[in-house]
Structure 1
Amino acid sequence: MNPTGAARTAVGPALLEDFSLEMTGKDVPKLEEARDSIPRGTRINVTFLGNEDLEMRLAAARAVKRLGFVPVPHISARRLGSRADFERFLAGLHADGTSDDVFLVGGDPASPEGPFADSLSLIDTGLLREYGVRHVGITGYPEGHPTIDGTVLWTALRDKHAALAAQPLEAGVITQFGFDADPVLRWVEEVRDRGIDVPIRVGVPGPAGVRRLMSYAARFGVGTSASVVKKYGLSLTNLMGTAGPDRFLRDLAAAHDPARHGDLKIHFYTFGGLKATCDWAARFRKESLA
């Protein structure tokens, strides 16, 4: 007997339809390997890392499109050295037919490498529509950010939402991953209360080693109290083990109320494990619908 059958039944159709994935520019061989495990038309975000160059980023977006998926290239504001660098990237995407969807991030550098301090400054250039961008993803932080005050985060989300609506460009939010569904849903409710009604993709870590998950969580300020990690299914005494987001997704599905939370979907942070994540999602969805 399955005591969580109701929640399992809700997970598949409510949240695991049309999930999205994340990869780096170096992950093209892994994408090739995983292609048969990924549903056609899946949105795949391509990160914008400091150790990758323009051609690598463009080539990764082309590979995503060639393999039958929807490329969502990231653009890191603080990593752009100039307005010309921004235009070169957009022009390259447009020429390749991969500019429809982009995802804007502030980026890791503490100081901007050029004129763009944040995602809003990219939106305000007006260049996105000029180069064929139709949909823009922006970030959400249900548990805050390790170096940015909460008030600043809310102001930034409001301002980006307003700027995109004014252009107009379609918008969506992808959240940082977490281990506890409760703060995610509280944050989503507040987003809706603030009048931001765009689709939200909840960030979820794909199956990965416990040590790796904890390392990423520490880097991004994700809550890892003993009670939270136990709730997720992590074992702090077995850092060599692996964990998947089974419990998190069941908790999210059980508490998701479309009337309060609106349109929610899932975005998997794969940590390089594209095939493992997609194989896991297929198994989990099958079990949820059983």
Structure 2
Amino acid sequence: MNPVSTVRAAARTSLLDDFSLEMTGKDVPKLEEARDTIPQGTRINVTFLGNEDLELRLAAARAVKRLGFVPVPHISARRLGSRGDFERFLAGLRADGTSDSVFLVGGDPAVPEGPYADSLSLIDTGLLQEYGVQDVGITGYPEGHPAIDAGALWSALRDKHTALAAQPLQGGIITQFGFDVDPVLAWVEEVRSQGVALPIRIGVPGPAGIKRLMTYASRFGVGTSASVVRKYGFSLTNLMGTAGPDRFLRALDAAHDPDRHGELKIHFYTFGGLSATSEWAARFRKDSAA
């Protein structure tokens, strides 16, 4: 391998250093199966779904910790019925030693089920620090949000950044997943130009069926034009196969400029495929280093 190739391979390998994963509360058996292919200390986000209860969420965070990983429980603002619900969740996390890191989302309900309309309102309560939270993740939307206009998204990002600094709490951003590197890096540049210096993890779908990827992409407003998905490596006319993020990560590596974008890491949306995603990441790292 020539020196230039060695540099590119090293860059691709480092892009997957300290990647994070996502699971649901019901995915604990899948995490057990995948444990040997996931590096110890990996951050694993545990989603906050409407059809799961408090004990299931707490048990999932405990399992992540027990298996040697770092639990990052999600807290969905609009799904909290009361301040008491919020405190019970935080108290449970603290009691289990799983409250260090959380990830805040607004949540899907169009009408909040309680007093919290968005993740900023959770930060503003001051309860996160009170219950031992040290690191708070927030969302980023390089391709926008189907129900929120761009101006509101930028305002919310700046406000959350300011609120975290005022607490003070450490923070980071995880983006929605996408199939096109260009809008992702353009968004990252804009984030930096607005003075938001939080670490950013780029959301990437793990290997999954193309039909399933299209379903999630439609739900979250991700661009799926023929030209975009062709860049990613699959065709809208053939939805029966599977696709992985190989092309996306190589394109991200090639276009990433640390001086403009800062340090970037990867967050995998596994869609239930913890083993498939972790095995894919191990193969990609090995092939890139070869």
Question: 1:95 and 1:9 mapped to 2: Cα distance?
Answer: 41
**Local SS of the residue matching 2:177:** coil
Q: Kindly indicate whether the alpha-carbon contact (under 8 Å) linking 1:203 and 1:268 is maintained by their aligned counterparts in 2.
A: yes
Q: Kindly indicate whether the alpha-carbon contact (under 8 Å) linking 2:16 and 2:266 is maintained by their aligned counterparts in 1.
A: yes
Provide, for residues 61-85 of structure 1, a one-character-per-residue CA deviation record: whole Å limited to 9, x for no partner.
0000000000000000000000000
The 5 Å alignment of 1:89-104 reads: 89-104=89-104
**Local SS of the residue matching 1:235:** coil
Q: Could you tell me which residue of structure 1 aligns to residue 12 of structure 2?
A: 11
Give how far 1:38 is off: 0.3
Question: 1:38 and 1:64 mapped to 2: Cα distance?
Answer: 11
Give how far 1:238 is off: 1.4
Q: Which runs of 5+ in 1 are unaligned?
A: none
Q: Could you tell me which residue of structure 2 aligns to residue 133 of structure 1?
A: 133
Question: 1:126 and 1:153 mapped to 2: Cα distance?
Answer: 22
Percent identity between matched residues is: 82
Provide, for residues 43-64 of structure 1, a one-character-per-residue CA deviation record: whole Å limited to 9, x for no partner.
0000000000000000000000
Q: Kindly indicate whether the alpha-carbon contact (under 8 Å) linking 1:123 and 1:163 is maintained by their aligned counterparts in 2.
A: yes
Q: Could you tell me which residue of structure 2 aligns to residue 270 of structure 1?
A: 270
Give how far 1:8 is off: 4.1
Q: Kindly indicate whether the alpha-carbon contact (under 8 Å) linking 1:22 and 1:44 is maintained by their aligned counterparts in 2.
A: yes
Give how far 1:198 is off: 1.0
Question: 1:29 and 1:238 mapped to 2: Cα distance?
Answer: 32
Give how far 1:9 is off: 3.9
1:181 matched to 2:185? The reply is no
TM-score (norm 1): 0.98
Question: 1:236 and 1:167 mapped to 2: Cα distance?
Answer: 46
The 5 Å alignment of 1:1-290 reads: 5=5, 7-13=8-14, 15-290=15-290
**1:251 is aligned with what amino acid?**
A
Give how far 1:7 is off: 4.3
Provide, for residues 167-195 of structure 1, a one-character-per-residue CA deviation record: whole Å limited to 9, x for no partner.
00000000000000110000000000000
Q: Which runs of 5+ in 2 are unaligned?
A: none
**Local SS of the residue matching 1:34:** helix
**1:10 is aligned with what amino acid?**
A
Q: Kindly indicate whether the alpha-carbon contact (under 8 Å) linking 2:226 and 2:235 is maintained by their aligned counterparts in 1.
A: no
